[in-house]
Amino acid sequence: MSRWGQVLGATAGVLVGAGLLYGTYLTVTPVLFPEGAAAAPAASPSASSSPSATAVAADGCDWASLKGKERPAVLKNEPDGLPKARRMTDETWECVDESWAVEVHSAGGDTWRPGGTAQALYLAAPDGDLLKLFDLRTDVAVVVLESDIDARLAWTARTTDSDASQVVQVELDSGLVVDAWGGDGVPSLQRNKKGVIRSVEPLGPYEGGGTLWAGYSSAGTLQSLFVRDGGADFRTFAAQKALDNLVDDGAVNGKGGSGLEAWTSKAATTAVFLAQRLDDSGKAAGSTGAGTWVVVDLVTDQWRLAAASLPAQLCTPAPGTYVPGTYNNPGELQAVCRKGGKERVYRLTVGGDPVEVDAGGP
C-alpha cells in the first residue's frame, strides 16, 4: 500500500470542516500566476521574499544546460527548516517536463506538526534542484498523491490532528485549488453534498489504460474504483450506475453504514463488489443473509450481477486478501464477518454459500 494508503487506513472517510474548503488552502498568494489571472484568496498572509532574477529560457529549454545565474535566484528568508529552493517563474515552465516531480516539504525534517509547521509545494528538477511554487497552510498535513506535469495539475490529500481527510486538485501554475474536481467521474460515495472529495488515492497504471484510483469507506475499506484517463479527465466504470442504485436501495458495508465492500485481483484486472442487506430487527444488527455481487472486468469494462448468499454477520474483506480468480470465476473471497462483538472468518463465493474457516488469509 502507498504511503497515503497507510494514512487513509486511519483517516479515510471523515468529513472536513468548512475551514478546509476552497480559498483557504494557501497561506500566501502563489509565487506566480498566468497572464491575466487573479490571485486565489489567502487565509493568513505572511512575509515572503521576492527575488527579481528570472531564468534565461526559451522554447525547448534544457534545464541541465542552465548554469549559475541562468537559473532563477535562490529564495532568501524562508522559514527555518524548509529546504533551499529557487523561485519559480513563468519562463522556467519551458524547462519542465514529465521527468520533474511535484513534492511537499515541511519544516522540521519533513514532519508536519499541528499548530504551525511551515510547508510548501515544490517542483523537483531531475538534478535535485527545487523550485518553490507556493506556501501551504500550516493547520493541515499535505501529501502529493499524483501529478500531471503536462497538464500542470496535482492532486493532494489533507489530514489534520483530528483525523480528517480531503483530496483536492491543484493548478500548479496558478495555485488555484478545486474541491469538487472530477465531476461525475468520481463515485458519489466519495463526494459529500457540496462535491468535496474524500478518502481517495491513485493505485497506479493498469491494463485498462490511465491511472486506477480507489475510494475508501470511513473504516478504511475499499468501496469504489474509478480512472483518470489524463489531465483532469476522470471516469467511472460502466458498473457504477448499478452500484449507485444498490446503495440508494439500502446496501450497507461491513460497519452497517450506507455503502459497499470490494475485493480486487492483485493485477487490478478484476473487482468484486458486495452489497449487503442490513437486518436490524434484533438486538445486534447483522446481515439478512442475502445480498448482491457485482463482478467487474476492469480491463474490458464488462460487469454482471449475481445473488449473494451470506452469513448472518456483516462482512468486510480479510486484510491482505485479493480476488484469486478471474471475471468469469472469481474464486473464494476471504471475509471477516462481525455481529454483536463476535468475529468470524468466512470464504465467500459468487454463486455459492459461505463457508466458515479458522482464519483468514490469501
pLDDT digits (tens, 9 = 90+) for 79-118: 888 999 999 999 999 999 999 999 999 987 767 776 668 9
pLDDT digits (tens, 9 = 90+) for 172-206: 999 999 999 999 999 999 999 888 999 999 999 99
Mean residue pLDDT of the chain comes to 83
User: Percentage of residues in the chain with pLDDT exceeding 70?
Assistant: 80
Phi, psi of 249 (to 5 degrees): -90, 5
Secondary structure of 89-151 in the HEC alphabet? CCHHHHHCCCCCEEEEEECCCCCCCCCCCCEEEEEECCCCCEEEEEECCCCCEEEEEEEECCC
DSSP string, 236-271: E-TTHHHHHHHHHTT-B-TTSSBS-EEEE-TTSSEE
The conformation of residue 73, written as its DSSP 8-state character, comes to P
Does position 253 have pLDDT exceeding 80, yes or no? Answer: yes
Mean pLDDT of 15-41: 28
Amino acid at 134: F
Element at 233 (helix H, strand E): strand 233-236
Mean pLDDT of 326-339: 96
| pLDDT level of residue 26 (50, 70, 90 thresholds) | very low
Phi, psi of 53 (to 5 degrees): -70, 145
The closest of 277, 295, 287 to 331, measured between CA atoms, is 295
What is the per-residue pLDDT for 94? Answer: 94
What is the per-residue pLDDT for 163? Answer: 55
pTM, entire model: 0.82
Does position 332 have pLDDT exceeding 90, yes or no? Answer: yes
